[in-house]
Amino acid sequence: MILTVTLNTALDVTYQVPRLLPHASHRVSAVTERAGGKGINVAHVLAALGHEVTATGFAGGPVGSVVRGLLARSPGVVDALVPCSGNTRRTVAVADAASGDTTQFNEPGPPITAAEWSRFLAHYEDLVRGARAVALCGSLPPGVPVGAYALLVRSARAAGVPVLLDTSGEALRRGVAARPEIIKPNAVELAELTGSRDPLPATRDARRRGAHAVVTSLGPDGLLAATAEGAWQAAPPRRLSGNPTGAGDSAVAGLLSALAEGLDWPERLSRAVALSAATVLAPTAGAFDLGVYEELRGAVCATGVAIP
């Protein structure tokens, strides 16, 4: 079983509009809803790839009930969310059919009490002992300690379970010091962590801070991985236009599934880039087309790079 952790779960709502114009009223042509938040997006993709996956984190209030109802209809994903008293947040993606671009609105998460955090920690300790790998994903809701991910990384490492950490800011800074197996920042998050805007030396610095491997999202230029075995970069075969919501989470699922399957780093990157690209091309936030993924995977090739 692969465990995904989403402390700040969400109801992901996607509006399709013919054209998005500032200061104008819009007639929505289609609406879709998905159980979301970064780790739950990862769980959806892992399940689609055939992995047994359990999703944990917090869910509460009327929106949390909708999220759990949707999750119950997600094949292959086990709901292990912990109830909280606050109302789960929503995210709204507005997809512009004319341009192919998407505008995103993210609500803040519900406040988590000390008692709720303690219950989650006990629950997580039980789950992680049965996991092959763990993904710790996304922002921290109010009330959760800023060092939460560092604590969760250490717990997984004590159980001998590899961890992929995908977060930002101070939560990433503290989490990387706990020595996760992989971190997956984007270029901006990596620069905030290391102080360097050049991804090549920045990945080296991030590894020195504690991460065993650093996989950096470079937007349309794909992924850059710096590991103890070497460094590689992989990119989509062509420039893509579409809905980027969930594309980074699909990359995490690709990396984590390949880690669990024992694939080497070039194969991990090829899978992650193909999944990410297939997600961008999908009309619904966080979804991907398996046929498109297989087609793109055959066209993605990871090449070695030298890190100064």
- Beta strand 10-17 with 30-36 is antiparallel
Known catalytic residue: 249? yes
**In 10 A of CB 206, how many CB atoms?**
24
Residue 9 CA: distances (Å) to CA of 36, 61, 82, 132, 240: 6, 12, 11, 22, 28
- List, in sequence order, every beta strand (DSSP E) within the chain: 2-6, 10-17, 30-36, 53-59, 77-79, 82-83, 89-96, 102-106, 133-137, 163-166, 182-183, 213-217, 223-226, 231-234, 303-304
- Which of 12, 166, 249, 289 is catalytic? The answer is 249
Single-letter amino acid code for the residue at 32: T
- As a whole number of angstroms, the distance between CA 25 and CA 162 comes to 48
**In 10 A of CB 45, how many CB atoms?**
28
SS3 state at 29: coil
Phi, psi of 182 (to 5 degrees): -140, 140
Single-letter amino acid code for the residue at 126: D
Residues taking part in catalysis: 249
